[in-house]
Structure 1
């Protein structure tokens, strides 16, 4: 799955004033009959059934009692979240019939029939199979269940019942099932086709004047059980035969190609029945099917060629050609991964589908990959270069999973990082193949390494992997889909690939995939196969076995700061914490010590040194004269670097005299390391500020973006204080020459630079200049937006510049500008343009307008539910909006929790965004009171984010008290002639 929480490159620089993000959300079920609620207020469903073997009919039986939350743990297997190991599925026959019009109760529903074939591994009279929100929850309808043995003889059932808390259909058998025999469980059921973005759900869009309905799926992590009863754990792999029944003019697709279409009459109406080919052995979370009126471009393929098609709304695909770019890059990326993995693509087709409503960025369903429209569709006249990069990297991420994750799958969700971290690394390799002149691989440093270090430097962080028994419930699973899994996972895998060399890494990877294809693994299986590759060659020498090196990075949270003293040649490491006095309660078997590959260069040397202890001495690290030493070349290692004062002085002197002598990535690294070292009290804050002085002469994107990201913290801490005045003047002074450089090379921002990073540099420069009051920038923004308002049928603002132009015009305008943008937001059916406008609407400085936007965010007729959290987060990005949003979140917490808190992967981002400005004792007390006030409601997947928010606030208070005066003086002094 692609990262759910995504900040566009277009708006990255605007984060100084406005934090803009797209957040993946999963909406909880909203429509439940009140009388059904009353009936079902127990943990288990009220009605249970006893099924006759001869007739399959059901009779009501009292449900077993379920212990309360305060009771001792139950010994009943159905009161535990994990499946017992007494049965293992081998195949499913699934038939689903979505009704894409409301029934008499005003609901969209689907009917289903499933036969689950399984092998018994030990004698048992109990079958647990996952089922959630099917039958009883909505319809007071018993499961129709029949159990048969391998001779198709029906087996007598004692009773069946639904256990709501752990989401099981419990089937108790009259006699013991025998080991090594195959059985089949047949069930019939009804479910709601809700708009909750989970399981089998409903999406809608308007084409012309007609509302179109889509029935689609999102099964990861634990929602296949919401579509049909199944053994819903990743290690429970099986094959699937999917059959869909639907009315014309709809069409259907699934993981495999359709093999048969028939027409039947039912209730006087015509239905089409589409049967799909049998899937390979796969996990339930990868099953997918869609019923829609979508159209496609591309080729369905044949026996000798893999079919690649892009699917979506007819207007977007055929009229506006928004799928053309995705079609152009998908096959080259697919071909690249076939070569990279040394394994043929396992399926006959690869469909990419753009959905109007989708919780995540994208989902790697085998053979039927689903995306948000913003992550797949691209329209040159409307979409920006950042949108284009988003499309190619998300496609690469999802296609990477077709092997790593789908063909070979983690045993359990505690190793989620291996799936997502790996795909988040190799997405850059796949995208680089599709866009070879972009040099996109370097951007992993900004997008992943630096970003996740900010989270991993907290005492409330967590290791990449955890014990399997620590992750049980769906909420605990969802909580793992965070930046640690994605971005830290990508960072440490990149580090591993770099010190192994890519040929060795690929050699071990191919061996791993071949050995475990169609099966499940734990992360250490990958280490073993990489070690085999190392053992079979002599060119790369490692100080220890791969597992000994990498377990330090996987099994303990955090990362080290390496300090090099160029006077003595000593090198030390310690656990880097933003607040060095914070209490680290999580134990580490390695005592927070890492095996660190230190790459470095001097004027005469470039090499690698392995730091295996807390401290060492390296003769090459002794520097004399005016020479400098630079460590962690191109930031291939996941660690920060500190130096003695003399080396810091020499590096700063080099930056201020001839900055290009230091590689561009390391210029960004010096800034990012310095500001974070200062926050951790490793160096003076003024030393970190000194690293920004050279930027008035540097037009490269990466150093500027590192500085803007670092200084955004200063903005958050000080934009309500007297420090912000001199800071704003300093930033204006620094950006001014860069602004006029880009104004010149782009002919007053009318033509685009050639390279990807130069285009990002132009975008950053314009947004920063407008934010800090460069008069010509504001004038440009207001003129271009004004022309659009005068001729609203023709938007001549270049897509790259729209986020900045829109935001600047709305921030400096009033209700008229806001209402114009709101109307354009409502009118557009281009998801990327809608995202730019929706983000810009939060730039208003009018509190009543921002409050109205917050109210709109909870109205799905105005803002799609998938965009609710990102809209609230956008409003919180300014000093004006932050306090409004905090009040809004507190007053609506129960509603927000009910909508998102139980399974949304990115719900925690809401807490992080709304509290990031907190830096006073009063705000800390408010945060603690918020925690106390909502203990009964709960925090769900935001629980860890809340603890991190408290920790960050404590650190912010301390940092502001210790640094405010010195920072103010530094900015004032920097403005003197």
Structure 2
């Protein structure tokens, strides 16, 4: 799924409609009448006595066994033509065959050669095909001729985009948009082989999941027949059409799989990095799984405007900013991002494609495992990336989302199609990956790896459920681990483990443990318990030792069996692998933070996890923000990037939560300069030879913090000069800090500076540069400039799919937040009209409350958000849940501020 956050021909003559192959058809220019949603043209209205359509899932009594699809796709047109043959297995006598179709104009439909009556459910996305007599048990064949839309606006179904002078058509069918491309059984459990033929303009290239096996020229067109796929659910079928260039990236893996990077015409040079590393990533994954890449080829396809990436087997798609970069402008962030996302999407070739979830409640079997294997691959392949700390930071993000009472479970029951869209969130991706990591650490990496290979081998080219996964991976003596795993799958929330050290005479030291559900101030939820693998590190007789236990009850203990005496320190979340927060009792926290050296230090991941715990505990009454701020200077100089970023989060949150009163802002700014200023200035805006990737990434964050919240005038002035230089000639500024200098310059800029940036936005033909400028626009603090910057979303200066997210940047301060919220309320309908149609939880309607109001920290705005978006959010898939979570978050922030503002004020008063 996107790892992440969007384009007509008339039917020919009757002979063409009845032809078995779309090769006999030639598109004619012109526009078809607007189709109704799955409206039958050749049949009378449904009989009153017709059975009602299924509400969510299709009946199991009729299943597809194979598809044969022929499409005519011309990206300059607004519609495509389709002809589909579906082989069926009928398990029980059936009066109607129900299948999915949405936005398709069904022209003819037959079952076993005889006309079938078409029952439409309107916008419900289902059609029923009724033969003259009920189908008997056995085999049957459905044939449908239809047309569908090639949307110029959406990023789902079949859509088109223009890049330069050329048009391209693509597909994005996960989760439930295959029904926009074909009448089909659009559920993951229906996994069968597909044959696809594409009729395209002869100068266009046609790509699909499998290699072409034949190509035939017919006048101005060509017909490309692709090899039959391995069994696939409908959502993984994909194609791309247009004058694309193909960059040969060699072969990879045990089967010498051909690897190619597919780009818009003329953009091949920008695929340099993707060409270099894609095959290496594929080989690493093969080595881990012990199973060769399951498909015949690997094409990685650039989609100019796309909100992420998609794991279609053999035809993986990427948003352009994720896969292309001008070589001399490549940044560390771009390279890391491409490796991470490619590892995730290629991990799906095994988890999701080779073995597919049986239903969307187990989408974690796809997404969580792809996220987890990304961490595992990079940890071993590129140890200099320090993926252990990134993994701990990802877990911290998941815990923040999971702290909401309205958070969903990893394995959430699917009651509506909205629930399917909602399933692709931090809980599925990051919490799921963190829980997998915790249990992998519990049973041991080698044992877990062997279990994963068993699972993939047993269910190859089939579907599987969570129960089947747990039974295979944790079999034999490890079978009880599956029950513990399920306590994290089937209930929401974050465990809070309270740890206190007991050192009784004549007894080995022990950690007394207690578990409860972590809840921030103001939150209420039923008590929950888990079976938690708790592991601790501490000084032992032969260096640092570790001990583990399974905390199955509200209270328990962990014997520190390798300690000679009462240990000087104990980390109750060894190497940050646990999906739980730790509340240290007594002097355990002080001992953890005491300076040490060598092996006695906390690991990098433990420091990140500890900072995450401190950030969470100040949102309760269990820890004072005053005490946490006193810790910040001790860790702000840490060599580990993710540790420093953890301290930055603790400090930066003070402004976003309005915790520092106006009278104490100078002390707050001075604290930031005193704590981070020297390091930021030493790093400067120019990279040095020998700088590590971590240094390059940290440079931008430190400079932004000190220049903005630290109000460092010298850094602001230097950034303004560099931004001016970049706007003039795009040279002479370190690529890793371009976005930083533009953002800093906007923070102190006026309306004239905005006009200069907008002029540059209008003048550039580079999508990459355009997005760099857009990223800075909402950083303006000047009210007039900020309003003008937000208004760019209502103009043609930029694609709104690129510019809309700038509204979130304006959440940084209370003043700019109010302006952004007013803009969203005034412009909601205009913005909605410019955005793609809704699909899943990635749509505008679901995101709008968080974009415009997620930064508020008071009850009044929580109420206003709920009132304004109540009806508006309900129009959109995923909107209700998104709004509920934003409102809960704002209320929680208000309770947090009431709890800790006096402590924060006291801290800065002393300064």
Per-residue CA distance 1:128-175 (angstroms, 9 max, x = gap): 12111112xxxxxx5211221xxxxx2353x21321232112111111
> Aligned match of 2:789 in 818, 835, 853?
853
Per-residue CA distance 1:558-617 (angstroms, 9 max, x = gap): 1211111125742111111123x52326xx8xx433333223324654322322211123
For the pair 1:200 / 2:158, whether they are aligned, the reply is: yes
Q: 1:441, 1:652 → 2: CA distance?
A: 20
For 1:478-627, what aligned pairs fall within 5 Å after superposition? 478-532=421-475, 535=477, 545-567=480-502, 569-579=511-521, 581-584=522-525, 591-602=528-539, 605-618=545-558, 620=560, 627=568
Per-residue CA distance 1:803-836 (angstroms, 9 max, x = gap): 2111111222223433333343344455444333
Q: 1:939, 1:845 → 2: CA distance?
A: 32
Partner of 1:145: 109
SS at match of 1:883: helix
For 1:659-678, what aligned pairs fall within 5 Å after superposition? 661-678=601-618
Kept in 1, the 8 Å contact 2:245–2:267? The answer is no
Give the CA RMSD over aligned residues.
Answer: 2.9
Kept in 1, the 8 Å contact 2:249–2:279? The answer is no
Give the Å deviation of 1:397: 0.6
Kept in 2, the 8 Å contact 1:120–1:183? The answer is no
Partner of 1:187: 145
For 1:282-681, what aligned pairs fall within 5 Å after superposition? 282-298=232-248, 305-317=256-268, 321-358=269-306, 360-432=307-379, 435-446=382-393, 448-467=394-413, 470-473=414-417, 475-532=418-475, 535=477, 545-567=480-502, 569-579=511-521, 581-584=522-525, 591-602=528-539, 605-618=545-558, 620=560, 627-654=568-595, 661-681=601-621
Q: 2:468, 2:674 → 1: CA distance?
A: 54
SS at match of 1:950: helix
Change (3 A) 1:449 1:950: same
Q: 1:665, 1:118 → 2: CA distance?
A: 52
Give the Å deviation of 1:913: 3.9
SS at match of 2:273: helix
Per-residue CA distance 1:661-715 (angstroms, 9 max, x = gap): 3323222222221121110222222222222131354343111111222333221
Q: 2:232, 2:821 → 1: CA distance?
A: 43
Q: 1:887, 1:492 → 2: CA distance?
A: 40
Per-residue CA distance 1:436-492 (angstroms, 9 max, x = gap): 53233431211x20111111011111110023xx3332x321111111111111111
Change (3 A) 1:214 1:433: farther
Q: 1:832, 1:500 → 2: CA distance?
A: 45
SS at match of 1:202: strand
Partner of 1:690: 630
For 1:52-63, what aligned pairs fall within 5 Å after superposition? 58=42, 60-63=43-46
Unaligned runs of 5+ in 2: 8-31, 504-510
SS at match of 2:618: helix
SS at match of 1:428: helix
> Aligned match of 1:116 in 70, 86, 92?
86
Per-residue CA distance 1:251-309 (angstroms, 9 max, x = gap): 111101111111113xxxx1111111111111111111111111011157699621100
Give the Å deviation of 1:214: 0.5
SS at match of 2:95: strand
Change (3 A) 1:658 1:681: farther
Change (3 A) 1:172 1:625: closer
Change (3 A) 1:830 1:340: farther
Give the Å deviation of 1:183: 2.1
Per-residue CA distance 1:741-761 (angstroms, 9 max, x = gap): 434xxxx73415532222222
Q: 1:416, 1:129 → 2: CA distance?
A: 22
Kept in 2, the 8 Å contact 1:424–1:490? The answer is yes
> Aligned match of 2:74 in 80, 99, 119?
99
For the pair 1:862 / 2:797, whether they are aligned, the reply is: yes
Partner of 2:65: 90
Give the Å deviation of 1:782: 2.2
Q: 1:101, 1:166 → 2: CA distance?
A: 29
TM-score of the superposed pair, with normalisation by structure 1: 0.84
Partner of 1:138: none
Q: 1:893, 1:740 → 2: CA distance?
A: 42
SS at match of 1:728: helix
TM-score of the superposed pair, with normalisation by structure 2: 0.90
Kept in 1, the 8 Å contact 2:410–2:490? The answer is yes
Kept in 2, the 8 Å contact 1:82–1:472? The answer is no
Change (3 A) 1:273 1:36: closer
Q: 1:919, 1:238 → 2: CA distance?
A: 50
Q: 2:870, 2:261 → 1: CA distance?
A: 49
SS at match of 2:162: strand
Kept in 2, the 8 Å contact 1:422–1:493? The answer is yes
Change (3 A) 1:895 1:826: closer
Change (3 A) 1:171 1:818: same
Kept in 2, the 8 Å contact 1:333–1:433? The answer is no
Partner of 1:139: none
Unaligned runs of 5+ in 1: 5-23, 27-34, 50-57, 67-74, 103-107, 136-141, 149-153, 536-541
> Aligned match of 1:844 in 780, 789, 796?
780
For 1:785-864, what aligned pairs fall within 5 Å after superposition? 785-789=723-727, 792-828=728-764, 830-859=766-795, 861-864=796-799
Q: 1:434, 1:628 → 2: CA distance?
A: 32
Give the Å deviation of 1:893: 3.7
Partner of 2:819: 884
**Matched positions, count:** 872
Structure number with greater CO (CA < 8 Å, separation at least 6) is 1
Kept in 2, the 8 Å contact 1:459–1:583? The answer is yes
Q: 1:786, 1:196 → 2: CA distance?
A: 36
SS at match of 2:133: strand
Kept in 1, the 8 Å contact 2:102–2:123? The answer is no
Q: 1:36, 1:181 → 2: CA distance?
A: 36
Per-residue CA distance 1:160-193 (angstroms, 9 max, x = gap): 1321232112111111212122323333334344
Partner of 1:236: 190
Kept in 2, the 8 Å contact 1:873–1:910? The answer is no
Q: 1:165, 1:443 → 2: CA distance?
A: 43
For 1:713-728, what aligned pairs fall within 5 Å after superposition? 713-718=653-658, 721-722=661-662, 723-728=664-669
> Aligned match of 1:944 in 858, 881, 895?
881
